[in-house]
A and B are shown apart, each in its own frame.
Chain A
Amino acid sequence: MNASSPLPTDSDAFRAAVRDFLREALTPELIRAGERTTSVFSDFEAGRQWQSILHQRGWGAPDWPLEYGGTGWDIQQRYIFQEECRQANAPTPVMMGIQMLGPMLMHFGTPSQKERFLPGIISGSNVWCQGYSEPGSGSDLASLKTTAEHDGDDFIVNGTKIWTSMAHYSDWIFCLVRTDKTVKPQAGISFLLIDMATPGITVKPFTSLDGEVEQCQVFFEDVRVPTANLLGQENQGWTVAKSLLEFERGGQHFTIDLKKQLSKMQHMMSSETCRVTADPTFAYRVAETQIDVMALEQTELRIKGSLTAGDNPGALSSLVKVSGTELGQRCAELLIEAAGQSAIPWQSEVLAPSYEGSTAAASESVTTMAEYINSRATTIYGGTAEIQRSIIAKHVLGL
């Protein structure tokens, strides 16, 4: 190894190894699923298949500590891995188990809970969804009303959860429930792990603004859940919930997706359908956005560089979430302007990974409108941009 080389050669070698793997493992159909992803989630089956392939290779959860099936990669290697997956159009599996619940189980779970749940999460055989918001409790999450009452060795759960992404595909749900109504709201919440096959659970999917189904409302009617499924102490659920939200907000590399959007932009700007090639101000706006993406990338690396695997980024995750999502929206706006009239068709069938026919939209613009529409939800879910700014004001600025 050449000591004067600015980048360690093994990082290049690492990247090359990841690329070799992706070239081999990604089938044309999996790539199409990645290309035609219009939100956080790819086609469900394609995502599940990809998670299983990653798991077989030993790369099912690179961010997890080695003892739970992680890879032992350093921060840079994990970043490279995600970046290469994204650039190669690998599909994105449902990540609520790996990104959110996994770290909570490691931190708050009993040995038997870890043993029971972690293997199914990393292999992708158990898909998890997140039961936080309720119809009356969005930004004011602590006001949640779904109750869990003791009955022998069980809890009896009643209530409803809303905006539960992918609940219609999920095997399990992790849920915030009220176990004490007599104390202040945050002090009476517990964190429960519930099998979606339990009698009394019904799922009502919603059609999202882009015409696809990802969001659901989940109803619980006298649902019996063993007390052994309590994660953390009873009435300590708010601590788990907050910690998890910080992982949700800060646990991803926003810049990897942003750079992917910028490369789509480059591709679109060189295509004949591009509507803005003659507009000099457009190129300036793209360049400014690029600089903001660089600033966020360095911020992410700076924050992550100060953490070790499995650590929680704290309130700074709010900074990353606001910047990342709002920049993503800006990229989506630039893309929709570049696509112009060529993005108006809405053909749901085209988004299926098995679809190989022609498209009414220009081939560069097939997902552009849906991505733009879905980008609006990113500053709402996982804590709205307003809530994030309040967190920054309170916990970072001390106001």
Chain B
Amino acid sequence: MTMTEEQTMLWDTADRYLRENTDFNQRRDQIAEAIYNQPQKWQAFAEMGWLAMPFPESMDGLNFGLREIAILAELCGQYLVTEPLIDTLAVASTVLMRSERATALVPDVISGELIAIAAIDEPTAESRLSPSCTLSQTDSGWHLQGKKYWISAGASATHFVVLADSGNGLAWVLVAKNAEGLSCETFPTHDGKGGANCHFDLPINDDQILLMGDAAAEALAAFRECAMTLSSAETLGAAQAALDTTVDYTKQREQFGQPLASFQALQHRMANMLIQTETTRSLVYAACDAADRDSPDRGRFARAAKVKSAAVGRKVTQEAIQLHGGIATTDEYIVGHFFKRVTALETWVCSKGEALQEFMALDA
């Protein structure tokens, strides 16, 4: 599970950039002003090549695998990045990569100008796999109609990649956020990413239909699997950071004349947090490797990582709050923000419960 030289370099560079450019109080102020994607930061992400990672060299991409993208996801968790990085990379490496029509868009994606976010959730639960949003043929082309709700990072999108039912299988449809016929309400979210609710009722031309039929279904499966692993990696980064913060705090905070960290009951709980975080780390990295080797086990590992990380992320960040005490219940202290982000990640694209059922079905 050691990193290659290239991976280590990527980690170090990304870690240094995020450490130097992340300020917790600034983050809070920006969220309060509804800034979820800071333009200079996004530009820097593009310049460092992060947005080019999944694309092949022929498209001026870096041709990196999921393992490398997951390094960024893990650091996003650690540094509480609100920019739509994993959101766009998940779409880029699955839907856009499979679409010939998207080829023309790739330069804008790599430069950071086009921020494409997947819109899959609808009011009903089953809509994530079988949308009630419809793409229907008209005399002059197509028409997209329906709702997409609770789009995480939707506030930062320039475009939505909408999952629709074409009557002849699934379709992924690209819609600009400012398109006429799209009404989009953005809102703050508890994890600071900023979301959107959208109503689509607009004409669509052929160029906007990125994928249709079997190819669209394959892309949905790939997108979900990718999102499961990236959400697991981000959860891992947040859990590790919450654990580190807790260990530091309990060493400093004194009650009953001694540091909290000297109480055995609390030491054991932090030891459990470490055990859980490390075993999660193993599964997350294994899921990345299975995907990058295109192993027959890749779907199974992605679901295992999702289930494990969701449970561990929840437990570890809850414990982090509890071991801190009152200080962790204020918005002014960082540890609760790991908890809020991990909570949002639990349900992003695929919930723990959905992943668990799919895991059982794969093993049956």
Binding site for B on A (CB under 8 A): 133, 136-140, 143, 162-163, 206-211, 215, 272-279, 281-282, 329, 333, 336-337, 340-342, 344-347, 360-362, 369-370, 372-373, 376-377, 379-381, 384-386
Contacts and interface: CB of A to CB of B under 8 A. Distances in A.
A341 B121 contact: yes
A325 to B, nearest CB: 11
Interface string B113-150: 00000000101111000000000000000000000011
Nearest to A273: B123
A139 B325 contact: yes
Nearest to B154: A344
A369 B351 CA distance: 16
A139 B266 CA distance: 13
Q: Could you say which of A209, A274, A361 has the most chain B C-beta atoms within 10 Å of its C-beta?
A: A209
Interface stretch (B166-174, B189-197, B203-211, B290-298): B189-197
Q: Which 6 A-B pairs have the closest CB atoms?
A: A140-B255, A209-B336, A360-B187, A340-B347, A207-B331, A341-B150
A360 B197 contact: yes
Contact of A384 (B121, B325, B344): B325
A185 to B, nearest CB: 10
A381 B326 contact: yes
A276 B351 CA distance: 9
A341 B191 CA distance: 12
Interface in B279-314: 314
30 contacts: A138-B325, A139-B325, A140-B255, A140-B256, A143-B256, A210-B190, A211-B190, A272-B123, A275-B125, A275-B347, A276-B351, A281-B353, A329-B318, A337-B347, A340-B347, A341-B149, A342-B150, A344-B152, A344-B189, A346-B189, A347-B187, A347-B188, A360-B185, A360-B187, A360-B197, A376-B336, A380-B325, A380-B326, A384-B322, A385-B322
B265 interface: yes
Contacts of B340: 209, 373
A27 B343 CA distance: 35
Contact of A344 (B124, B191, B356, B357): B191
Nearest to A386: B265
A215 B352 CA distance: 33
B331 A209 contact: yes
A333 B346 CA distance: 11
Given A209-B330, A272-B123, 19 more contacts: A136-B254, A138-B326, A207-B330, A209-B328, A211-B331, A215-B329, A278-B125, A279-B353, A279-B357, A281-B356, A337-B351, A337-B353, A341-B149, A341-B150, A342-B123, A345-B187, A360-B195, A376-B336, A386-B265
Contact of B190 (A143, A274, A281, A373): A373
Contacts of A143: 255-256
Interface residues of B, number: 47
A133 B332 CA distance: 18
A272 B189 CA distance: 22
Contacts of A137: 255
Interface in B315-364: 318, 321-322, 325-326, 328-332, 336, 339-340, 343-344, 346-348, 351-354, 356-357
Nearest to B152: A344
Contacts of A347: 187-188
Nearest to A274: B125
A251 to B, nearest CB: 21
A163 B332 CA distance: 13
A51 to B, nearest CB: 26
Nearest to A362: B123
Contacts of A346: 187-190
Contacts of B347: 275, 337, 340-341, 344
Nearest to B260: A139
Contact of B343 (A139, A274, A369): A369
Given A344-B189, A345-B150, A346-B190, A208 B353 contact: no
B197 to A, nearest CB: 6
A138 B354 CA distance: 41
Q: Could you say which of B197, B255, B314, B354 has the most chain A C-beta atoms within 10 Å of its C-beta?
A: B255
A322 to B, nearest CB: 12
Contacts of A136: 254
Given A341-B348, A360-B187, A369-B190, A206 B255 contact: no
A248 B357 CA distance: 42
Contact of A133 (B257, B326, B352, B354): B326
A379 B322 contact: yes
Interface string B176-204: 00000000010111110001010000000
Contacts of B197: 360
Contacts of B329: 208-209, 215, 376-377, 380
Given A376-B318, A376-B329, A277 B125 contact: yes
Contacts of B344: 344
